[in-house]
Amino acid sequence: MGNSRARAPEDSTPVIVGAGQYMERDLPPRQARPPMGIAACAAESALKDTGCEDLLADLIDTLAVVRIFQDSRNRPRDDVSFGRAENPPRAVARRIGANPAHAIYGNIGGDTPQTLVNEVAQAIADGDIGVALLAGGEAIHTARAAMRAGVSLDWQEEDGGSLDDRGMGATLASRHELVHGIGIPVQTYPLFENAIRAGLGNSIEQHLDLMAGIMARFARTASANPFAFYGEPRKRAELASINASNRYICLPYPKLMNARDSVNQGAALVMTSVGKARELGIDPSSWVFLHGCAEAREKQLVSERVNYHASPAIRANAATALAMAGKTVADMDFIDLYSCFPSAVEVACAELGLKPDDARGLTVTGGLPFFGGPGNNYSMHAIAEMVFLLRAKPASCGLVTATGGFLSKHATGIYSTSPFPGRWKLPSSAADQAAIDAMVSPEFTEQPSGSATVETYTVCFKRGAPDKGIVIGRQCADGRRFVANTPADETALARLVAEDQMGRSGTVSATPQGNVFVPA
């Protein structure tokens, strides 16, 4: 296999030839850029990185933008006081002097950057795309600062031309789940974390220390990254301490272990074929190849999952991507695991066979809690950072995992400067997906009653005080799964925090306001 990998790549082989990032901080809101202005700055950096930016803008035939935070909520488009770009890809194109034939606006999910890379790579291999620019940008920090200061901004942009708007994507939470607080990331990932904690036999205090050990290494990486928005170094003891500046958000996560999205960050990639890169005279030593990639989804709703401590979709799509690359996890020199919350990292480690303290590190950026969580676009930064690391160590390999929803949608990319051999072809995910969909999940009921036990849970806090308990449980009589809330009185909530609720028995009942679980 080693000799075959040394062959010259075919002209149709897709390749990343440019990568760029941009971060903006400490500007007054009226001087700061809107989201597409930030994306365009990243795009200009990526074009400059190719070495032939003067030629490339005119050659871009496809421009894809990752969906911004403002457009990722189910509410009318006019319900944002500052306005927005009505055609985001063409707002970026206008700024960089491009006029692409195809403008794509991706759907919701942190997996979107990697899935767009996969899609564009296949279209390049098929000859349907000549030069593509992928970009994303967020100005959430500016928006929130303006709202706090009572400053009015005009972010409305009207750009004509075609638009392939992919929309919101699949619904990942049911109305019944949302009524009980499941389907909001900050309240849902803690449910996975407590299930992981129970599987390890850890107390909450022991698990806080374990999570803090993982996250301290992420913070260390972020502290050395000039594009990190929250780059302060954080010690393990600091991350594990619960206090006014690191209060609980949802048990067992204190503030500093949550993705932080109040950022102004953008990232972009330029992709083309080997033949076009040669024609443009782009230095082959800067080319980065997508050696393997794949995508898979979990069962759609959280209440449908087989369990809450594993991810069959991460395991399956990563295996497919590695098989396409002819590599194993041990062959990877650099790794970036999607890190919105510690549970996302821990589950990925378990499925990939990685140790949380792997000497290679588990992030190249610093992760969403410390580098920053720019909406759906974080993994574009991870891929851009990977490009620079791989160039600095020729023939090395890097792995990027990207996750959307609530551990719902997953994509993996394997990258290297080593040429990709043979004809590039996106692998089919049909068999992986069929196997996941065929897994047997517990039967679910929206009208539970009687004796029950806690399968997993979290306690949501408000201004540092417990405010709501969320339970996923099982009826004792038939094992059917349900979701519920706990009584909201102060004494009951204090007990939820003081005592471990995993496996706790109690009673559940359905009310017009929602299901209620009362611990014994």
Q: How far apart are CA 29 and CA 26, in angstroms?
A: 9
Identify the pLDDT of residue 253: 98
Structure-token pair, residue 118: 């996969």
Identify the pLDDT of residue 73: 79
pLDDT of 393-409, one tens digit each? Answer: 999 999 999 999 999 99
CB under 8 Å to 382, separation ≥6 — which residues?
A: 113, 336, 363, 364, 365, 400, 402
Q: Given phi > 0 = left and psi -120 to 50 = alpha, else beta, which region is 140?
A: alpha
% pLDDT > 70, the chain: 98
| Domain 450-519: CATH architecture, name and number where available | Beta Barrel (2.40)
Identify the pLDDT of residue 75: 52
Identify the pLDDT of residue 299: 97
User: Is 466 in a helix, a strand, or coil?
Assistant: strand
- C-beta separation of 376 from 112 below 8 A: yes
Handedness of CA 118, 119, 120, 126 (dihedral sign): positive
| Domain 4-172+260-437: CATH architecture, name and number where available | 3-Layer(aba) Sandwich (3.40)
CB under 8 Å to 128, separation ≥6 — which residues?
A: none
Location of each CATH 2.40.50.840 domain in the chain: 450-519
**380 closest CA partner among 22, 28, 87:** 22
Q: How far apart are CA 118 and CA 425, in angstroms?
A: 10
Q: How far apart are CA 32 and CA 326, in angstroms?
A: 45
pLDDT of 140-149, one tens digit each? Answer: 999 999 999 9
Location of each CATH 3.40.47.10 domain in the chain: 4-172+260-437
Pairing of β 102-105 and β 505-511:
unpaired
Identify the pLDDT of residue 363: 98
Identify the pLDDT of residue 3: 38
Per-residue pLDDT of the chain (520 residues; tens, 9 = 90+): 333 345 789 999 999 999 999 999 999 999 999 999 999 999 999 999 999 999 999 999 999 999 999 898 765 444 457 999 999 999 999 999 999 999 999 999 999 999 999 999 999 999 999 999 999 999 999 999 999 999 999 999 999 999 999 999 999 999 999 999 999 999 999 999 999 999 999 999 999 999 999 999 999 999 999 999 999 999 999 999 999 999 999 999 999 999 999 999 999 999 999 999 999 999 999 999 999 999 999 999 999 999 999 999 999 999 999 999 999 999 999 999 999 999 999 999 999 999 999 999 999 999 999 999 999 999 999 999 999 999 999 999 999 999 999 999 999 999 999 999 999 999 999 999 999 999 999 999 999 999 999 999 999 999 899 999 999 999 999 999 999 999 999 999 999 999 999 999 999 999 999 999 999 9
Q: Backbone phi, then psi, for 514, in 5-degree steps? A: 135, 175
**Bridge-partner residues for 416, per DSSP?**
289, 397
